[in-house]
Amino acid sequence: MVPMDMCTPCCISQLACCCGSAACSCCCNCCPKIKQSTGTRIMYAFYFLLVTVICVIMMSPTVDQELRDKIPFYSELCERMNAGENCKTLVGYSAVYKVCFGMACFFLLFSIFTIRVNNSQGCRAAIHNGFWLLKFIALAACCAGGFFLPDEGTFLEVWRYVGATGGFIFLLIQLMLLVEFAHRWNTNWSSGVKYNRLWYAALAFVTLVLFSVAVGAVVFMGLFYTHPEACLLNKIFLGINGSLCLIVSLLAISPCIQKLQPTSGLLQPGVISVYVMYLTFSAFSSKPKEMVEKDGVNTTVCVFPFNSGLESDMKIVTTMGTIILFGCVLYSCLTSTTRRSSAALRVCRNSEPETERARCCFCFGDDTEDYDEEKTGSGQNVVYDEREGTIYSYSYFHFVFFLGSLYVMMTVTNWFHYDGHKIEKLLEGSWSVFWIKMASCWVCLILYMWTLFAPMVCPKRFEA
């Protein structure tokens, strides 16, 4: 049994975190220390993830049916809540639009509220870093408020185009961060080569694995997503994307690029190639099915092998797609506000000299190093890394989450083809989803090629 004198300080610290400006931390003393800025971003990410899960549930008829079967007096409860027959106003694409509208408003208001906050000691910074219970209530109120908007038809029509615009912008940021991630990975591990040759072996091994996966994906899609009598677009785009990946790989190791960027190698195009092949596969999976007549019977061709198997196989594919969606969104939201990533989004080199230290988990590296540490009772220790000033833009951080809310809304509801869409058909899309993903492949490749040629075109912006 835990002694009362150990629980009391932890309860007080959690109360100060929920209703005051104190930083949040775990009650377990064995947890590693956490920075205040990291804890804040994790809490906002948790709120974002919670609302996203609710949206996924709203788009799932399976969950809706389970609620009807398991909750007693479900119909009567829905009628008392004025939610319509079987709570039909709380499910479907319109409900997701309203909930995401509330979440987007929450982050947009905080983005405006925290404009030009450069000191973490002010009242606006205190609200940003604390008062989590009150902010949770505010978020819930915003999401619930979306269900009381007048003229629902006009709202849904206008909000759809607003969501599409914000979703495209977020997708562009996500692709730029992927390119930055590839460059950072190569730079970090290359910095360890001069101290330990094992880093060179690690670079070579990972590069080999990445290109093996990319080539394997090309072969896989060539076997299952092409057909002699159908799937002409698949053949064309698979050839184009595969050729473009080969071109950027050769450019990365060309003498003219190596002269300006000595650290440029095959690791970056390996990462880009794998992601492009994933997007190509996802686009092919999202395209409406094609059929050919074989022995007098219409047969579906160019489909993922799981589609013709058991229903459980399709659930596995859907689960993987949902997890990848969550991972990409959270990574983009959490990393786009670091100083290094912000410089990458502006396509320039940081004026401060970088002292890289090779690490396996390089993406969790710190922008700064030594800060004051404070004990929080018997729980986790908090490192206050913003005493001298903020280390990331609060306003931009919330704005990225605002765009992420719109991206999740459009993705979960299948972009422009939302009528009758179900979350179980996340990987079964339409022509709009197909073209969005295919365009993302080309944008990603163009962005990477620009980072290779940018030092030639704008040498002053890339002077260290």
pLDDT tens readout for residues 207-224: 999 999 999 999 999 988
Q: With beta carbons less than 8 A apart as the criterion, state whether 121 and 180 touch.
A: no
Residue 5 has pLDDT above 60, yes or no: no
Residue 129 has pLDDT above 80, yes or no: yes
Separation of alpha carbons 20 and 16, rounded Å: 5
Average pLDDT, the chain: 76
Helix (H) or strand (E) run with residue 95 in it: helix 93-113
Q: What DSSP character marks residue 150?
A: S
What b/e readout covers 232-251, taking b as 16+ CB neighbours within 10 angstroms? eebbebbeebbebbeebbeb
User: Any idea which of 10-19, 342-351, 355-364 has the lowest mean pLDDT?
Assistant: 342-351
Q: What does pTM read for this prediction?
A: 0.77
Residue 173 has pLDDT above 70, yes or no: yes
More confident residue, 359 or 141: 141
More confident residue, 436 or 6: 436
Which residue pairs, CB below 8 angstroms and at least 24 apart, start in 439-446? 440/171, 440/175, 440/279, 441/241, 441/276, 441/279, 441/280, 441/283, 442/244, 443/172, 443/175, 444/175, 444/178, 444/179, 444/272, 444/275, 444/276, 444/279, 445/241, 445/244, 445/245, 445/248, 445/272, 445/276
pLDDT-derived band at 428, boundaries 50, 70, 90: low
User: Any idea which of 159-173, 191-205, 239-253 has the lowest mean pLDDT?
Assistant: 191-205
Residue 35 has pLDDT above 70, yes or no: yes
Position 225 scores a pLDDT of 87
Residue 308 has pLDDT above 60, yes or no: no
Position 31 scores a pLDDT of 58
Residue 352 has pLDDT above 50, yes or no: no
Q: With beta carbons less than 8 A apart as the criterion, state whether 309 and 363 touch.
A: no
Position 171 scores a pLDDT of 83
Q: With beta carbons less than 8 A apart as the criterion, state whether 400 and 337 touch.
A: yes
Residue 394 has pLDDT above 80, yes or no: yes
Q: Among all chains, which residue has been given the structure tokens 């910095």? A: 191
pLDDT-derived band at 73, boundaries 50, 70, 90: low
In this prediction, residues 307-332 reach a mean pLDDT of 59
User: Any idea which of 18-32, 38-52, 90-104, 239-253 has the lowest mean pLDDT?
Assistant: 18-32
Q: With beta carbons less than 8 A apart as the criterion, state whether 409 and 418 touch.
A: no
